[in-house]
Amino acid sequence: MSATGGPAELLLLDTNVLIHLARADEVGKWVAENYRLEERAERPLLCTVVEAEIRALASYRKWGARKLEELGKLLDECVRVEVDRPAVIDSYVELYSFARSTGRAIWQKNQNDLWLAATARATDAILLTQDADFDFLHPEQIQVELVPSEAP
């Protein structure tokens, strides 16, 4: 899939992509335009782990009331996917086992990424991210699209 992926494809947003969308910076505008976020019948998906990450980051960085309100609106536009869903848990188990079988250590810092990958797998969504953290997974396990760090 390309950055102009079809409107029927589900998109799952990583924290780094949400930050750009919340800032409405050039990368955020590029994502919104190229993935046609306003035009899509299916709203972007939001893993609850990612929601916790971005809210924690906003608190730590002491975002002001206006920026927090904009973040709330952005999050409300997404469809939340709870990580306690059986399909997400089953996907987590499979991806964890795969990672360990290939010699990849799953440290505490990798847990959130693994939950995000499991959510993408369980929902058959395309994960939009700026991280290479998911490179070890095969395309048949999850679909990943890298968002550029600068708007093209």
Q: Is the pLDDT of residue 4 over 50?
A: no
Helix, strand, or coil (residue 132): coil
Average pLDDT of every residue of the chain: 90
- Dihedrals φ, ψ of 13, to 5°? -100, 130
- Residues 59, 65: Cα–Cα separation, whole Å: 11
Please say whether the structural domain 11-146 has been given the CATH code 3.40.50.2300.
no
Domain boundaries, the chain: 11-146
pTM, to two decimals: 0.90
Q: What is the mean pLDDT of residues 111-138?
A: 91
Alpha helices in 5-137, H assignment, sequence order: 15-23, 26-34, 48-60, 65-76, 86-101, 108-123
Helix, strand, or coil (residue 135): coil
User: What DSSP character marks residue 47?
Assistant: E
